[in-house]
Amino acid sequence: MPEAREAGPPTAPPRSADGAGTHLPGPRSSSAAPGGGGGGGGGGGRDRYLDLLRALALVRVVVYHTFGWAWLTLVFPSIGIMFALAGSLAAHSLQRPALSVVRGRLRRLLVPFWLFSAVVTVMMLLHGWRPHSWHRMLLWILPLADPPGTAWAEQIVAPLWYIRTYLWLVLLSPWLLKAFRAAPRSCLAACGALVVLAQYDRLPLAEPALTPVIDLVTFAACWLLGFAHRDGLLDALRVRTVVVSAALCLAAGGWFAYTHPTDEGIDLGEIPLAQALWSAGFVLLLLRFRPRRMSRVPFADGAVGLLNARAVTVYLWHEVALFASVPLIDLMWNVPFFEAHLPLDATWFQFLVVWPLIGAAVVLVGWAEDLAARRRPRLWPAGGRKRGRRARGRAAPAR
- CA distances (Å), 289 to each of 1, 78, 239, 328, in order? 36, 17, 9, 43
What is the band of 45 on the pLDDT scale with cuts at 50, 70, 90?
A: low
Mean pLDDT along residues 337-347: 93
Query: Stretch 140-152: mean pLDDT, rounded?
Result: 94
Alpha-carbon distance 219 to 304, whole Å?
Answer: 24
Report pLDDT digits (tens) over 302-311. 999 999 999 9
Q: Is the pLDDT of residue 47 over 50?
A: yes
**Predicted local confidence at residue 6, as pLDDT:** 52
Q: What is the per-residue pLDDT across 158-197, written as a single tens digit (0 to 9) for each?
A: 999 999 999 999 999 999 999 999 999 999 999 999 999 9
294 confidence band (pLDDT: 50, 70, 90): confident
Q: What is the reported pLDDT for 33?
A: 33
pLDDT score recorded for residue 21: 34
pTM of the full predicted structure?
A: 0.85
Residue 299's pLDDT is 80
pLDDT of 11-41, one tens digit each?
Answer: 434 333 333 333 333 333 333 333 333 333 3
